[in-house]
Chains A and B, each alone.
Chain A
Amino acid sequence: MIKEGLPDKQGHFGQFGGRFVPETLMPAIIELEEAYEEAKNDPAFNKEMKGYLKDYVGRETPLTFAKRLTEEFGGPKIYLKREDLNHTGAHKINNALGQALLTQRMGKRKVVAETGAGQHGVATATVCALLDLECIIFMGKEDVRRQKLNVFRMELLGAEVVSVDQGEGTLKDAVNEALRYWVANVEDTHYIIGSVVGPHPFPKMVRDFQSVIGDETKEQFDELEHKLPDAIVACVGGGSNAIGMFTPFVNEESVKLYGAEAAGKGIETGQHAATLTAGKVGVLHGMLSYLLQDEAGQITEPFSISAGLDYPGIGPEHSYLKETKRVTYEGITDQEALDGLQLLSRKEGIITALETAHAISYAQKIAKQMNPDQSLIICLSGRGDKDVETVKERLGGQVNE
């Protein structure tokens, strides 16, 4: 079973995690760790955080009983944790807000962040506007092209968006550039990393900020059903919504936990982002974790219809949860995700993000092995507005046929 108190003092979850960064950054991440530990135990900080979460983000988010989806699946009762109803439309803001408040607390005035699809970039630009912090966002040039509207959103919020030409111009290259920028500006800048990845203390800190998802869910479900849920499913890219949802349940042995990875065009095609299913252990972006890489240790380009899952690494805690078999991870293809997205739209009137759609499709498979006395919760990590164009392109005329 899972040990309490992970990661250890050096940021390790078993063999995973740690701090693999240039010496120039070490003092900053040690400072960050100290500042975070202090803030976490400060009632004033927690009160401030709670206040913003309630009055600005709009928490708590509902736990919605999905009646028609339950009938469709024909198995357990299906509940949806509605992170799509947060301000900016996804769970990302829980973390961005926490880290921005911490930035203020450390006396820093500048923030750097990376973004793939733009969700984390928008959330970061939003909280920087709110708290009057300077904000620079690195985004791969390919993603800038694919997500023009989100680039404009960030600029509208007062952030500077820098297009990254290096590599293939996607999320991993944006993280590389954000890290390089941080190395060069570390004394007055904080790096708001967008997921439970990177060097310690990021995986732990981001997990803690996102655990509000699972904490609320546990309480809400208990109020509705007076028990624990039987199963929970969430999508996994870097893995922050999943970790946030899983954390309060990890030590509840009766609750089965499932993570949906992006299998893209299919694991066998090599065009996927299923790091835990098909990756090997290695070091990237400051952490030891499962990675998509070739024989020589070069990181390979992931592929997924969903830009938010398009990352060749995974949070180190997920690697640990896979290795200890506490969580079951499975790849869901682009096509399955698209089916899930359409199903949820028509059955529940919720157009979900393509990332989340992977969890819907996986839930359908899991539900087949469950019975009507049981309950299954899906973490609905984000809304689908940003993906409508992509989905339209992929479906072509299918929708009206």
Chain B
Amino acid sequence: MSKTTLQQAFEDTLTGGDKIFVPYIMAGDGGLDGLAERIQFLEESGATALELGIPFSDPVADGPTVQAAGLRALEKNVSLRDVLGKLKDTKQDRKIPIILMTYMNPIFAYNIEAFAKDCIDSGVDGLIIPDLPMEEENHITSYLTENEVALIRLAALTSPDERLEQIAEKTEGFLYAVTVKGTTGAQVEFESTVGDYIKRVKALTSKPVLAGFGVSTPEQVRQLSAFGDGVVVGSEIITCFHEDKRDKIVELIQASKRSKQI
């Protein structure tokens, strides 16, 4: 597994006429022992890749739902080391690519070099670090390149064109277009400029562009996927698992399929 695995999965989805759907779950929410089963459920439901959050005590980019899920995981003392261990043990049971979403400090405490190596051993294909802008990424890039782990960059609604170009150029795997000015969590409505923004970002790169932050309904999945190549859905997936409403997860994922598009 590596960044090629990720690229292949995206290509396969897009070639088939579907849009990319990446669900986000918090590792350890609901217990680390249940993680492999949740991953399997999402894989079987048709998700393209999985974004797996690492709990952190101070998640400044996250809204209430992800914060609460992180606290539930921290109450069970789930650490980055535990998650990588569990992913390694269950590596053979899944085909779906894994993208880790972690703040910088747990990686720092782990040791950056060892972390990059262990990602590959555990079958982690990509990495999202919400508090690591381009200006500081040289702390980690050489280790990731060496180990073939994709560093997925985030673009923001506030990023000026010049930054968007650099981000689009640098990103690996896909480009994560953040669709709200704010933290993660359900949005009733998006700003009217979001469509243009995703299209603008899309024009800058041949890599897939996924919209994320605030996407919570099948309608929004269809709407935002239409501008780019797909979506990341976090808070809503977390809530559905927490309240055991798995049929709603299936509905969300299905909204990204060709047969269900408008």
- Residue from B61, B79, B80, B159 in contact with A183 in the complex, judged by beta carbons closer than 8 Å: B61
Cβ contacts under 8 Å, B67 to chain A: 166
Q: Chain B residues in contact with chain A, CB under 8 A? A: 56-61, 63, 67, 74, 79-81, 103-110, 130-133, 135-136, 153-160, 163, 167, 178, 180-183
Assuming the A-B contacts A172-B58, A179-B60, A183-B181, are A22 and B154 also in contact, with contact meaning beta carbons closer than 8 angstroms in the complex? Answer: yes
Tell me how far the C-beta of A20 lies from the nearest C-beta in chain B, rounded to whole angstroms.
5
Apart from A167-B58, A296-B80, list 17 A-B contacts with CB within 8 A.
A18-B136, A20-B132, A21-B133, A22-B60, A22-B130, A23-B155, A24-B159, A27-B156, A27-B158, A180-B60, A183-B183, A283-B103, A285-B60, A291-B105, A296-B79, A297-B105, A297-B109
Is the Cβ of A22 less than 8 Å from the Cβ of B156?
A: yes
Other-chain contact of B154, A23, A179, A187 (Cβ < 8 Å)? A23
10 closest pairs, A vs B, by CB?
Answer: A297-B109, A184-B182, A296-B79, A297-B106, A24-B156, A283-B104, A23-B156, A298-B57, A297-B105, A299-B57
* Cβ proximity bits A247-269 to B, threshold 8 Å, 1 near / 0 not: 00000000000000000000000
5 contacts between A and B (CB under 8 A): A24-B157, A26-B133, A283-B108, A286-B131, A297-B80
User: Which of B58, B79, B135 has a CB less than 8 Å from the CB of A19?
Assistant: B135
- Residues of the A chain whose Cβ atoms lie less than 8 Å from the Cβ of B63: 180
How far does the alpha carbon of A358 sit from the alpha carbon of B133 in the complex, in Å? 37
By beta carbon, the residue of chain B nearest A178 is B60
Q: Does A150 contact B (CB under 8 A)?
A: no
CB neighbours of B105 from chain A (8 A)? 282-284, 291, 293, 297, 299
A24 with B109, Cβ < 8 A, contacts A179-B60, A283-B104 known: no
Beta-carbon contacts under 8 Å, A276-330 to B: 280-286, 291, 293, 295-299
**Which residues on A sit within 8 Å (CB–CB) of B74?**
298
Bound complex: CA A284 to CA B158 (Å): 22
CA distance A248 to B27 in the complex (A): 49
A286 to B105, CA, bound (A): 11
Please, how many angstroms separate the alpha-carbon atoms of A27 and B135 in the complex?
12
Which residues of chain B come closer than 8 Å to A299, judged between CB atoms? 57-58, 105
B158 and A186 contact, CB distance less than 8 A: yes
Q: Total number of A-B contacts with CB less than 8 angstroms?
A: 121
Q: Which residues of A contact B167 (CB under 8 A)?
A: 23
Q: Does A176 contact B (CB under 8 A)?
A: yes
Q: How far is the CA of A285 from the CA of B57 in the complex (A)?
A: 12
B80, A23: Cβ atoms closer than 8 Å: no
How far apart are A183's CB and chain B's nearest CB, in angstroms?
Answer: 6
Q: How far is the CB of B197 from chain A (nearest CB, A)?
A: 12
Q: Which residue of A lies closest to B130 (CB)?
A: A22
Max count, chain B CB within 10 A of own CB: residue among A19, A185, A186, A296: A296
Q: Is the CB of B108 within 8 A of A187?
A: no
A20 contact set on B, CB distance < 8 A:
104, 131-133, 136
B110 contacts across to A, CB distance below 8 A: 297
Chain B residues, Cβ within 8 Å of A166: 67
B residues in contact with A162, CB < 8 Å:
none
**CB < 8 Å neighbour of B109 from A19, A172, A282:** A282
Instruction: Count chain A residues whose beta carbon lies closer than 8 angstroms to a beta carbon of B.
Output: 37
- B108 lies within 8 A of A24 (CB): no
Which one of B60, B109, B136, B159 contacts A27 once the chains associate, using CB atoms below 8 Å?
B159
Q: Tell which of A183, A187, A282, A296 touches B60, judged by Cβ atoms closer than 8 Å.
A: A183
Q: Which of A187, A281, A285, A291 contacts B181 (CB 8 A)?
A: A187
Give Cα distance in the complex from A298 to B178, angstroms.
Answer: 26
Decide if A398 is an interface residue (CB 8 Å cutoff). no
User: Contact: B56 with A298, CB < 8 Å?
Assistant: yes
CB-defined contacts of B133 to chain A, threshold 8 Å = 19-23, 26
Cβ of A26 and Cβ of B109 under 8 Å apart? no
Q: With A183-B61, A183-B181 as given contacts, are A297 and B158 in contact (CB-CB < 8 Å)?
A: no
Decide if A293 touches B109 in the complex (CB within 8 Å): yes
At the interface, yes or no: A41 with Cβ under 8 Å from chain B? no
A28–B133 Cα gap in the complex (Å)? Answer: 13
CB distance from A286 to the nearest CB of B (A): 7
Q: Which residues of A contact B60 (CB under 8 A)?
A: 21-22, 176, 179-180, 183, 285
Expressed in whole angstroms, the minimum distance between the Cβ of A261 and any Cβ of chain B is 21
A369 proximal to B (CB < 8 A): no
User: Cβ of B131: which chain A residues have Cβ within 8 Å of it?
Assistant: 20-22, 283, 286
Nearest CB in chain B: distance from A11 CB, A? 9
Q: Collect the chain B residues with CB atoms within 8 Å of residue A286's CB.
A: 131
Tell me how far the C-beta of B10 lies from the nearest C-beta in chain A, rounded to whole angstroms: 21
Rounded to whole Å, the gap between the CB of B210 and the closest CB of chain A is 15
A10 part of interface (Cβ distance < 8 Å): yes
Decide: A296 and B81 in contact? CB cutoff 8 A: yes
Identify which of B57, B59, B159, B181 gathers the most chain A CB atoms within 10 Å of its CB. B57
Chain B residues lying within 8 Å of A21, measured Cβ to Cβ, are 60, 131, 133
Chain A residues lying within 8 Å of B132, measured Cβ to Cβ, are 20
Give the residue name and chain of the A residue nearest to B157 (CB): A24
Bound-state CA distance A183–B59 (Å) is 13
Given contacts A27-B158, A297-B80, contact A10 B183 (CB under 8 A): no
CA distance A284 to B103 in the complex (A): 9
Bound complex: CA A204 to CA B154 (Å): 27
Q: How far is A167 from B153 in the complex, measured between Cα atoms in Å?
A: 28
How close is B119's CB to chain A, nearest CB, in angstroms? 16
A187: which B residues are within 8 A, CB to CB? 158, 181
* Residues of B contacting A183 in the complex (Cβ-Cβ under 8 angstroms): 60-61, 181-183
Closest Cβ of chain B: how far from A30's Cβ, in Å? 9
Output the residue of A20, A166, A180, A286 with the most chain B CB within 10 A. A20
On whether A184 and B183 interact (CB within 8 A), knowing A20-B136, A21-B131, the answer reads yes
Bound CA span A166–B79, Å = 20
With the chains together, A166 CA to B63 CA distance in Å? 11
Expressed in whole angstroms, the minimum distance between the Cβ of A197 and any Cβ of chain B is 13
- CB pair A167 B181 closer than 8 Å: no
A176-B163 CB under 8 A given contacts A18-B135, A295-B109, A296-B80: no
Which residue on chain B has the smallest CB distance to residue A295?
Answer: B109
B158 and A28 contacting across the interface, CB-CB below 8 Å? yes
